[in-house]
Amino acid sequence: MPANKNTTKNTGKGLAYGLSAYFIWGSFPLIIAVISFITPIEIVAWRIVFGFALAVALITLSRGWSSVWAVTKQPKMLGWIALATVFIYFNWLIYIYAVASQQIIETALGYFINPLVTILLAVVFLRERLSRLQWVAVGFGTAAVVVLSFDYGRLPWIALALAGSFGIYGLAKNKLGGKVSPLNSFAFESGMLIPLATIQVVWLAGSAQGLLLATNGVLGTGAMVFFGFMTAVPLIFFGTAAKHLPLSYVGFLQYLTPLIQFVLALAVFHEAMPIARWAGFFLVWVGLAFLGVDLAKKSRNRVKKTS
């Protein structure tokens, strides 16, 4: 029995794919900076088009169309995929707008507080009960939002919108119960958005500004195509990593993306970081530390029960 487990689980392979996925996601501000000559709404449209094209190509190469057709016969699954599609679209649009307008620190905040929002959604929609440590973590996260609201002079709406939309996206994906592969799920999500992307492209083509995709040479166009492809790649990498890694590993790896974006915002894009903002982020990090302790505690308990 142990031998079989070792052949199906490969921690080294899982870490390699997981790290690759989160590093790619973390590097997105650099790619968006290259294509910043394109408006956010056009970037989202092309991201959908090129991402869908790559998904179709990969499914064709892997001869996976039978599994795609199988999903179309399950209306309940299609309903959850449709819900996920709506929220990932808004997530992409808000994220690209924030990065293009050099508000990367707030996007990093959004993905730092995403785990806290996720456990609140679990309470509301899945009727899960929070542990004491989880409530403490949520308390620190709430305090951080209050402090940052005073710092920004407004609610950190970009961070909250990103955390909320991605949290609901994750909730919808959770309802799929792992019955749809990451590649197939992405193909459905981007495919459902193709009509909207087409409308956006046609509308922009007829506007006074016109389409900007080809206005900055081969490099600009190539970067946009590359960004579209990179929408699908880390999702596929993450799906592979999740098969080989314990949930606790995946939980800690997810903080890599906002950490990389936070460092890029300070070191590359030179965004302002006043003391009050540092205080808000510190409260978030303390909350995440409590969440990490809770996760480690639960992992140890599971190991004891199975040993």
Task: Please report the pLDDT score of residue 29 as a whole number.
Answer: 94
Cα–Cα distance, 91 to 277 (Å, whole number): 23
User: If you average pLDDT over residues 81-102, what whole number do you get?
Assistant: 93
pTM, two decimals, is: 0.86
The residue ranges of every structural domain in the chain are: 10-306
pLDDT at 103 over 90: yes
- Is 209 in contact with 64 (CB distance < 8 Å)? no
Cα–Cα distance, 194 to 213 (Å, whole number): 17
Task: Please report the pLDDT score of residue 303 as a whole number.
Answer: 63
Query: With helix as H, strand as E and coil as C, how does 227-264 read?
Result: HHHHHHHHHHHHHHHHHHCCHHHHHHHCCHHHHHHHHH
Which of 176, 165, 186 lies closest to 230 in space, CA to CA?
A: 186
User: If you average pLDDT over residues 257-270, what whole number do you get?
Assistant: 93
Q: How many residues comprise the chain? A: 307
Task: Please report the pLDDT score of residue 307 as a whole number.
Answer: 61
User: If you average pLDDT over residues 190-198, what whole number do you get?
Assistant: 96
Condensed to tens digits (0 to 9), the pLDDT of residues 210-261 reads: 889 888 888 889 999 999 999 888 877 887 787 777 656 766 777 889 999 9
Which of 110, 114, 116 lies closest to 97 in space, CA to CA?
A: 110
Mean pLDDT of the chain: 87
The CA–CA distances, whole Å, from 61 to 25, 179, 202, 307 equal: 25, 21, 30, 42
Residue with tokens 């392979």: 13
pLDDT at 8 over 90: no
Take residue 234 and report the two structure tokens written for it: 């880390």
Take residue 35 and report the two structure tokens written for it: 């294509």
